[in-house]
Chain A
């Protein structure tokens, strides 16, 4: 009898505990007919590699199940290809399949004549591996952030509240109306609005757009100061405990605020987790209503609470269905109905609705950088789908899909922008007479980053050991009016910061001579430099602890590489604006 590693032993034991009737059915019922094969985007882009076939991927867990929990496999393992796991390397191989070759998109599930739900047990397999610490680095980092900081992007409470404040001020300026508010922790509201931390970090304009819509709809709404993150990495990591606890955090906050309804901003996995899965993971009965913001916006229009003018969105638009929304929550008709109300030229991609292809960034794939080449290769299917529509904008109701689509659009050099329904609805919003604005102002979006010298008069130091990054960041910042100083290593950065006293520092973590963590600590401990805002920009999220574990004030901003132009400017602007307001 072969020796088995502790982790392998544990995985087998936990598998037995996690089996339920649905999963056992799916594991036992596959007849290896191959009907699901070409339903998977990975197969379509890797036709010569059978290891991408859904049934093959499913068999990687199935063989363990058969070897330990199914009778034929226990008696005649070789006959049904039952096989146990013995070493940590065996588990690593399983990890490569369940995390790196499947986005849990469920497209094979709905195409399996037997009703085998591969996506569900693939998620379970992820959970088994996570429970013994075997997972991609990115999954570990994000899970840790969600457990410890309360949201999956490590956004600190101050950062979140600062962003809300900033967006509120921007809205007030845009609408020239000081009564426009983004209320926080208001009691007894009809709507409690929860968002994705990505909105705070990369896309604050979606918060402002939503606020604008709530304002003009006359909604009695609020955002919670805590438990505001409706995303849930438990869905991707397969960790039901994390999933349940994240859901509970959100539900408890709504109850504490005595909110009547939880509205979930546009995010596929967030909607699915919060609306559908977390009550099951956490065995919770949620006493209030929950709704996607897509349905809320559509309702406002139908009830006449807001008026929209679709001629403000005239570019050809197509719609990408998030797998979690469409295939797991039946949310596919409402976004189309809304789109048809706010744009003039909507073009359906094919296939669509619950049959649409994954954006390829699903299942947490965007956080698993080691699988990026595979992901982008498989994205060819989506790229072709988009191109065939001739659309200039692809709309999606999912932040994860926004990232996935943005990345593939860049990779395949498509001339298409990504937007969300909230952006188009806010843009089409007809501002009521009494505070009507000139047409130009009414359609102004927040913030329009790289149009003019938004950083004029600002001195920014960029510390990064990659010359390409230095050149890219310098060009972007200089184009926006900033004066830029560059440093190629940590030591040089400290010297230049002391000499130049910049308005802001962007800091890479992994640098020669002195790492970014050390530079950061030196800055924070020097009374003369401690107030200079710092934005950490790193390609190694696992090094984040180098910063947060230090006994000093957290950095003002944090970005994961790769960073695009808009994201860089939005975040730099936000940090500088917040600093300006806090020092007033």
Chain B
């Protein structure tokens, strides 16, 4: 392994990770310095709903595609969402496996999982980019950051896919690009929409707490008319 690759796999990643963590901490302090609104009123709705149940339901909502009409009606979109995010997890894992546990990649099974999840995520990234560019409504709501973040992740998947074998025999270019991209990704994330996962627990917790207090969460789906008609 060259010094350049060693630097990219280790020192560079560590610097980027520390930077990301510091910025995230600042970001969390910033959001928590805003006071949270509270619900003073007595609870409404079904007696067995509570703020805690509501918050829990809300946080888990994304794993229940049947829970929201938007995911229920668009199963393909939901599957894309799952694949894309699994790809992110795999590509991040890869950035730790290669420097700290390369022997894991000797397992055909692990390599295949990483390969397929990252490869499919790359495909989904392309589909999503096409959707964002071709649909007028998506264009209308997209900012340069939205396009760039998606392009960055898709390209990152692409290089992660080829980096999976962790093979330097045919050169280190792919691995170098992958690790430099990972470092850039880590530094860029806190300033971009990719940092949404930092907000996710906050928005979902408070929405769930409120809607739990009001008897809306855990959510009761619409009854199909055939079921209730007399």
17 CB-based A-B contacts, threshold 8 Å: A21-B32, A23-B34, A25-B199, A26-B203, A32-B146, A38-B73, A50-B136, A50-B141, A110-B68, A111-B70, A277-B41, A329-B44, A329-B215, A331-B45, A347-B230, A348-B223, A356-B222
A353 touches B220 (CB 8 A): yes
Bound complex: CA A116 to CA B203 (Å): 7
B70 touches A354 (CB 8 A): no
B230 touches A344 (CB 8 A): yes
Interface centre among A25, A279, A286, A345 (most CB of B within 10 A): A25
Which chain B residues border A22 with CB–CB below 8 Å? 36-37, 203, 206-207, 210
Shortest beta-carbon distance from B171 to chain A in Å: 34
- Is A55 positioned at the interface, with any CB of B under 8 Å from its CB? yes
Chain A 335-370, CB within 8 Å of chain B: the 1/0 string?
Answer: 010000000111111111111100000000000000
Shortest beta-carbon distance from B145 to chain A in Å: 5
4 smallest CB-CB distances across A and B, nearest first, come from A330-B45, A330-B215, A50-B140, A29-B199
Which chain B residues border A414 with CB–CB below 8 Å? none
Which chain B residues border A38 with CB–CB below 8 Å? 70, 73
A55 touches B199 (CB 8 A): no
Interface centre among B38, B45, B81 (most CB of A within 10 A): B45
A56 touches B137 (CB 8 A): yes
Closest to A78 in B: B144
Give the size category of B's interface with A. Answer: 35 or more
- Is A522 positioned at the interface, with any CB of B under 8 Å from its CB? no
Given A276-B44, A350-B224, 10 further pairs, Cβ under 8 A: A25-B31, A50-B136, A71-B191, A111-B68, A116-B203, A117-B207, A329-B216, A330-B45, A351-B69, A354-B219
Chain B 125-155, CB within 8 Å of chain A: the 1/0 string?
Answer: 0000000000111111111111010000000
Chain B 28-53, CB within 8 Å of chain A: the 1/0 string?
Answer: 00111011111111101110010000
Chain A 103-131, CB within 8 Å of chain B: the 1/0 string?
Answer: 00000011111111100000000000000
Interface centre among A55, A330, A349 (most CB of B within 10 A): A330
Closest to B65 in A: A113
- Is B229 positioned at the interface, with any CB of A under 8 Å from its CB? yes
- Is A289 positioned at the interface, with any CB of B under 8 Å from its CB? yes
Which chain A residues border B225 with CB–CB below 8 Å? 347-350, 389
On whether A28 and B199 interact (CB within 8 A), knowing A50-B136, A113-B70, A348-B225, the answer reads yes
| Interface set, chain A 25-44, CB cutoff 8 A to B | 25-26, 28-29, 31-32, 34-39, 43
Bound complex: CA A51 to CA B137 (Å): 8
B45 touches A115 (CB 8 A): no
Which chain B residues border A441 with CB–CB below 8 Å? none
On whether A280 and B34 interact (CB within 8 A), knowing A50-B136, A78-B144, A115-B200, the answer reads no
B203 touches A115 (CB 8 A): yes
**Which residues of B are in contact with A by a Cβ distance under 8 Å?**
30-32, 34-42, 44-46, 49, 58, 61-62, 68-71, 73-74, 77, 81, 135-146, 148, 191-193, 196, 199-200, 202-204, 206-208, 210-211, 214-216, 219-225, 227-230
**Which residues of A are in contact with B by a Cβ distance under 8 Å?**
19-26, 28-29, 31-32, 34-39, 43, 48, 50-51, 53, 55-56, 59, 71-72, 78-81, 109-117, 275-277, 279-280, 283-286, 289-290, 326-333, 336, 344-356, 389
Shortest beta-carbon distance from A15 to chain B in Å: 12
Closest to B191 in A: A72
B137 touches A354 (CB 8 A): no
Instruction: Report which of A21, A31, A347 forms a contact with B36, defined as CB distance below 8 A.
Output: A21
Bound complex: CA A36 to CA B69 (Å): 10
Which chain A residues border B31 with CB–CB below 8 Å? 21, 24-25, 28
On whether A352 and B46 interact (CB within 8 A), knowing A25-B202, A344-B230, the answer reads no
Which chain A residues border B207 with CB–CB below 8 Å? 22, 109, 115, 117
On whether A328 and B136 interact (CB within 8 A), knowing A24-B34, A347-B225, the answer reads no
On whether A330 and B34 interact (CB within 8 A), knowing A79-B143, A280-B41, the answer reads no
B143 touches A50 (CB 8 A): no
Which chain A residues border B41 with CB–CB below 8 Å? 275-277, 279-280, 286
A114 touches B223 (CB 8 A): no
A333 touches B228 (CB 8 A): no
On whether A348 and B229 interact (CB within 8 A), knowing A32-B143, A353-B223, the answer reads yes
Shortest beta-carbon distance from A319 to chain B in Å: 10
Which chain B residues border A113 with CB–CB below 8 Å? 61-62, 68, 70-71, 81
Shortest beta-carbon distance from B125 to chain A in Å: 13
A352 touches B222 (CB 8 A): yes
Shortest beta-carbon distance from B121 to chain A in Å: 15
On whether A25 and B206 interact (CB within 8 A), knowing A53-B141, A275-B44, the answer reads yes
B221 touches A355 (CB 8 A): yes
Instruction: Report which of B32, B204, B216, B230 forms a contact with A330, defined as CB distance below 8 A.
Output: B216
Bound complex: CA A29 to CA B202 (Å): 9
